[in-house]
Amino acid sequence: MTRRVLVHVGTPKTGTSYLQDVLFRNRELLLEHDVLYPADRFDAHFLAALDLMRLPWGGLEQEALGRWDELAAQVRAHHGTAIVSHEILARASATQAAEALASFDEPGGEPAEIHLLLSGRDLVRQVPAEWQENVKHRSTLTYERFLARLRDPERSSRIGSWFWAVQEIPDILDRWGALVPPERVHLITVPPPGGDPDLLWQRFSSAFGLDGLDLELDTTRSNPSMGVPETALLRRINASTNKRVPPAHYRTLVRELVAHQTLSPRRDSPRLAVPPDLHDWLHELQSRWVAEVRDRGYDVVGDLDDLLSQPTVAAEDFADPDRPDEADVADAALATIGAVLQEQVREREDRAAEQARAREVEDDLRRQLTDVHEALARSYLRPSYLHRERIVRGLEGSRVGRVSMRVYRAARGRSSRSA
């Protein structure tokens, strides 16, 4: 049987979390069909990707040490189809990509049939999504400055370098596809908004060869986006609290509680969009990508025209997150304060309940101790005990008596002295 390895390398914000969650939740069913998704959590390949690319990531790199080798070993040991998927793999250099693909083969063994998969979306949706993702990771950069860094042809900033490394589809395919025949390179396009919500999954399913499997598709895993005033508020929160909130608390309090649970569900606010004056530039850029991909003869799952940027809002409706409606921001801030207070109340109630439970245990122990004391006192009051106590006290008053007591205790098999 041919060993096949499906390597899905991005791009971010193309439904990858959903895909990985479906693969993870159905991994036992998949294995029954000889498809291996080697993961102990839905995004397990994130750590492996960090390890491959030698990327520090707020302390997580320590957990990542050796993870790529572990993943590659699991892939090598499987004789059917194995799936590796994480969107930050799009950032790998050509050398790292070659190393990764080589790691799926035993030295001197039969090489695996490698398939490279890349999911892509139009830049009009990717650009604001990436800025928002930065803000959700403590960035204080304004939208304007973020866009200026994307437009820098040198890509010398961390922002510009990262964005294009994980978004420029022909370049990603150059790096990852250099050693893979074009017919084994599969480009999955994300459908434009407003269409069939299942279409993206159908494309993933087709590209990964999962059609016909009865997979559980209901998942709560999603990466919800925030609106303009909400993102503006979060950026301001970062600017004022970054130095005081350690990374671990930021993850739970700010990203989870504030961004995901409180601000993202607010759907009435204006959506983030690309400024109208950038549409032509982005459209032209992606037209060149589409032409290049078409020429290379890759397998396209979906429609390449999906990648051509179309404005998501009318020019007159564009809301600038650097100059948001302050009333909307205040409204979002009130919701945030409410959520944080509610969390405080919940924590205090939990703590109070915990303390009440601890008090109950303490009271119970105290009751048991009192019972023991009372039982002891009762036994002390028995005439036979009082008689024995008098004898012992008498014996311990003389040397001969003490020696007799030691002999008696040794004979009884008890070496400890009486209380």
Closest CA to 226 of 328, 349, 140, 104: 328
Contact, 68 vs 100, CB < 8 A?
Answer: yes
Contact, 67 vs 50, CB < 8 A?
Answer: yes
158 or 417: CB nearest other proteins: 158
| End-to-end Cα spacing for the chain | 77
Q: How far apart are CA 107 and CA 266, in angstroms?
A: 53
Contact residue for other proteins among 87, 122, 130, 168 (CB under 8 A): 168
Residue 191 CB, nearest approach to other proteins (Å): 24
Residue 178 CB, nearest approach to other proteins (Å): 5
Contact, 304 vs 290, CB < 8 A?
Answer: yes
168 or 306: CB nearest other proteins: 168
| 167 is an interface residue for other proteins by CB under 8 A | no
Contact, 298 vs 182, CB < 8 A?
Answer: yes
| 191 is an interface residue for other proteins by CB under 8 A | no
288 or 382: CB nearest other proteins: 288
Length of the chain: 419
| 162 is an interface residue for other proteins by CB under 8 A | yes
| 161 is an interface residue for other proteins by CB under 8 A | yes
Residue 292 CB, nearest approach to other proteins (Å): 7
Question: Sign of torsion, CA 233 238 240 241?
Answer: positive
Contact residue for other proteins among 33, 41, 54, 367 (CB under 8 A): 54
Q: How far apart are CA 344 and CA 62, in angstroms?
A: 32
| 62 is an interface residue for other proteins by CB under 8 A | yes
Contact, 262 vs 304, CB < 8 A?
Answer: no
Number of Cα atoms under 13 Å in the Cβ half of residue 6: 24
Contact residue for other proteins among 51, 87, 230, 328 (CB under 8 A): 51
Contact residue for other proteins among 18, 37, 208, 289 (CB under 8 A): 289
- Quick check: bond before 11 cis, omega within 30? yes
| 96 is an interface residue for other proteins by CB under 8 A | yes
Neighbours of 331 (CB within 10 A): 17
67 or 121: CB nearest other proteins: 67
Closest CA to 316 of 273, 270, 267, 276: 276
Contact residue for other proteins among 28, 154, 216, 268 (CB under 8 A): 154
170 or 270: CB nearest other proteins: 170
Stretch that binds other proteins, among 16-24, 112-120, 168-176, 224-232 (CB under 8 A): 168-176
User: Which residues does 340 contact at the CB level (< 8 Å), separation at least 6?
Assistant: 253, 257, 258
Residue 66 CB, nearest approach to other proteins (Å): 11
Contact residue for other proteins among 108, 158, 220, 419 (CB under 8 A): 158
| 156 is an interface residue for other proteins by CB under 8 A | yes
Neighbours of 221 (CB within 10 A): 14
Antiparallel, parallel or unpaired: β 4-8 and 113-120: parallel
Mask of contacts with other proteins, 252-271, x by CB under 8 A?
A: --------------------
Which phi-psi region, left, alpha or beta, contains residue 111 (left: φ > 0; alpha: ψ -120 to 50)?
beta
Whole-angstrom CA distances from 135 to 12, 120, 273, 335 are 15, 22, 15, 18
18 or 46: CB nearest other proteins: 46
Question: Sign of torsion, CA 319 321 327 331?
Answer: positive
Closest CA to 51 of 38, 69, 33: 69
Mask of contacts with other proteins, 4-43, x by CB under 8 A?
A: ----------------------------------------
Contact residue for other proteins among 17, 31, 74, 98 (CB under 8 A): 98
Residue 365 CB, nearest approach to other proteins (Å): 39
Residue 415 CB, nearest approach to other proteins (Å): 40
| 171 is an interface residue for other proteins by CB under 8 A | yes
Radius of gyration over alpha carbons of the chain, in Å?
Answer: 33
26 or 167: CB nearest other proteins: 167
| 179 is an interface residue for other proteins by CB under 8 A | yes
Contact residue for other proteins among 107, 108, 153, 397 (CB under 8 A): 153
Footprint on this chain of other proteins (rule: CB under 8 A): 50-51, 53-56, 61-62, 64-65, 93-99, 102, 153-156, 158, 161-162, 164-165, 168, 170-171, 174-175, 178-179, 288-289, 292
